[in-house]
């Protein structure tokens, strides 16, 4: 099944490349300068194209590896028509990276990444792309491991891979945002450890330096960096996060403005948002059954967490991106669950906006029981209009 899907993907890609206007030509765009408030406002409500370009099988990335259909322009158009202004495209590279010393990214894979980016970019959307699964110990082929012993080689590989990505997208305007990594940590659920956190800081610094030095619009582009596991407490607290210096940025950027953004994710309380259990199905002050509501992680907690990011970074000119948030579908167990899911995403979106952050909903492409999906990607239809309405009202 996977083999057949890959063949379909390759055939579609070959056909697309064979016709004019395939979108693989780098757009020549003016370098429009956007300050922190402008970029967050322009990003509006965001949506993740999850479980696609970061999907992989046996260390080989493939957009259909986890059961999703080939990404199409029609899907992106549907997402835009629904009201989203930003699309985050998680990307894995893994075994699509060749051996050292050059660490060349497979040309067909980089072309496909660019083609999917262009589906959104050419429609006027903001686009975020990152390095997603390469830092997960649980993923076959992962290599960006912060507590591995061969850090010199890892950092060299990381620099050369990002140099290729940044070069490919150097002419894109400020609607394209590059994100250094995703949820990088040592794999243990606990307080950050050293030297792992220092290595994550080093990766972020390499990323910023490398992208800036490729020139073009990259010299002034907004760049997105996370702390430990994109965790708010471990990024804002005294656990070791160090903001990269932006020493190679364009002199055209006003000295009192930044061009770095802070990446955080928000899934609290997990027993409501992500735990595949029917015990907790309600959330928020509108909950009618205390037994179905988590004992923590309600509106006051959400506000306090977002305020931490605001106080630490936004007030200093570094806007934030809540790059992932959401709540899984438990309507099969509690018919009132859709209401609380909508309450939750509305609250996250609104609170993010209140504190100078852009919210980007996590959609993993799965609908129904325990799914995060807002769209059916095969039929290109909306499946959760109530959730979408709630998100849009949150950022309105």
pLDDT band at residue 33 using 50, 70 and 90 as cut-offs: confident
- Among 54, 63, 179, 183, the one annotated catalytic: 183
pLDDT, mean of residues 312-334: 98
**Per-residue confidence (pLDDT) for residue 30, from 0 to 100:** 57
**Per-residue confidence (pLDDT) for residue 29, from 0 to 100:** 54
pLDDT band at residue 67 using 50, 70 and 90 as cut-offs: very high
387's enclosing H/E stretch is: helix 385-395
**Per-residue confidence (pLDDT) for residue 4, from 0 to 100:** 32
The pLDDT tens digits for 232-279 are: 999 999 999 999 999 999 999 999 999 999 999 999 999 999 999 999
Is residue 23 scored above 80 in pLDDT? no
Is residue 146 scored above 80 in pLDDT? yes
**Per-residue confidence (pLDDT) for residue 25, from 0 to 100:** 63
Does the reported pTM lie above 0.85?
yes
pLDDT, mean of residues 19-25: 49
pLDDT, mean of residues 67-95: 98
Is residue 131 scored above 50 in pLDDT? yes
Classify each residue of 259-290 as buried b or exposed e, where b means 16 or more C-beta atoms within 10 Å of its C-beta: bbbbbbbbbbbebbbbbeeeebbbbbeebeee
pLDDT, mean of residues 297-320: 98
**Token pair recorded at residue 331:** 């309507």
pLDDT, mean of residues 364-370: 98
Whether 183 is catalytic: yes
The pLDDT tens digits for 39-57 are: 999 999 999 999 999 999 9
pLDDT band at residue 28 using 50, 70 and 90 as cut-offs: low
pLDDT band at residue 337 using 50, 70 and 90 as cut-offs: very high
pLDDT, mean of residues 16-20: 34
**Token pair recorded at residue 318:** 């570094």
**Per-residue confidence (pLDDT) for residue 35, from 0 to 100:** 92
pLDDT, mean of residues 87-99: 98
The pLDDT tens digits for 180-192 are: 999 999 999 999 9
Q: Is 66 left (phi over 0), alpha (psi -120 to 50) or beta?
A: alpha
Rounded distance between C-alpha atoms, residue 182 and residue 88, angstroms: 12
Residues 6+ apart with CB under 8 A from 167: 214
pLDDT, mean of residues 163-183: 98
Mean pLDDT, the chain, whole residue set: 93
The pLDDT tens digits for 278-305 are: 999 999 999 999 999 999 999 999 999 9
Is residue 18 scored above 50 in pLDDT? no
pLDDT, mean of residues 198-225: 98
Contact in structure between 43 and 356 (CB atoms under 8 Å): no
DSSP-assigned letter for residue 302: H
**Per-residue confidence (pLDDT) for residue 12, from 0 to 100:** 36
**For the ranges 19-28, 125-134, 193-202, which has the lowest average pLDDT?**
19-28
- Identify which of 161, 144, 127 has the alpha carbon closest to the alpha carbon of residue 49: 127
CATH of domain 36-395: 3.20.20.80
Whether 54 is catalytic: no
pLDDT, mean of residues 62-90: 98
Q: Give backbone dihedrals phi and psi of 56, rounded to 5 degrees, phi first.
A: -155, 160
What residue segments make up the domains of the chain, in order of their start?
36-395
């Amino acid at each position: 099944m996977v083999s057949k899907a890959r063949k379909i993907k390759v055939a579609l890609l070959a056909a697309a490349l064979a016709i004019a206007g395939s979108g693989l030509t780098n757009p020549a765009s003016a370098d429009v300068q956007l300050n922190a408030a402008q970029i967050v406002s322009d990003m509006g409500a965001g949506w993740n194209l999850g479980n696609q370009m970061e999907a992989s099988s046996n260390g080989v990335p493939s957009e259909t590896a986890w059961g999703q259909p080939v990404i199409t322009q029609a899907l992106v158009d549907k997402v835009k028509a629904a009201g989203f202004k930003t699309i985050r495209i998680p990307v894995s590279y893994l075994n699509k990276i060749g051996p050292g010393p050059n660490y060349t990214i497979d040309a067909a894979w980089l072309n496909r990444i660019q083609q999917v980016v262009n589906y959104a970019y050419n429609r006027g959307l903001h686009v975020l792309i990152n390095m997603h699964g390469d830092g997960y110990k649980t993923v076959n082929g992962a290599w960006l491991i912060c507590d591995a012993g061969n850090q010199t080689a890892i950092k060299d590989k990381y620099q050369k891979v990002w140099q290729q990505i940044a070069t490919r997208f150097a002419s894109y305007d400020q609607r394209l945002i590059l994100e250094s990594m995703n949820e990088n940590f040592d794999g243990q659920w606990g307080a950050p450890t050293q030297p792992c956190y220092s290595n994550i800081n080093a990766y972020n610094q390499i990323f910023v330096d490398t992208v800036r030095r490729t020139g073009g619009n990259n010299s002034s582009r907004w760049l997105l960096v996370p702390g430990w596991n994109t965790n708010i407490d471990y990024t804002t607290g005294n656990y070791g996060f160090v903001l990269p210096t932006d020493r190679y940025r364009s002199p055209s950027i006003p000295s009192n403005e930044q061009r770095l953004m802070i990446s955080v994710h928000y899934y609290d309380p997990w027993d409501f948002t992500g735990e595949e259990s029917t015990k907790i199905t309600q959330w928020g002050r509108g909950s009618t059954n205390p037994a179905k509501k988590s004992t923590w992680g309600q509106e006051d907690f959400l506000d306090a967490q977002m305020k931490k990011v605001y106080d630490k970074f936004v007030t200093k000119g570094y806007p934030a991106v809540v790059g992932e948030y959401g709540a899984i579908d438990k309507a099969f167990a509690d018919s009132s669950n859709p209401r609380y899911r909508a309450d939750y995403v509305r609250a996250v979106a609104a609170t993010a906006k209140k504190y100078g952050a852009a919210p980007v909903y996590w959609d993993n492409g799965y609908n129904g029981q325990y799914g995060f999906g807002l769209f059916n990607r095969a039929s290109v239809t909306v499946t959760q209009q109530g959730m979408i309405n709630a998100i849009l009202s949150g950022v309105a």
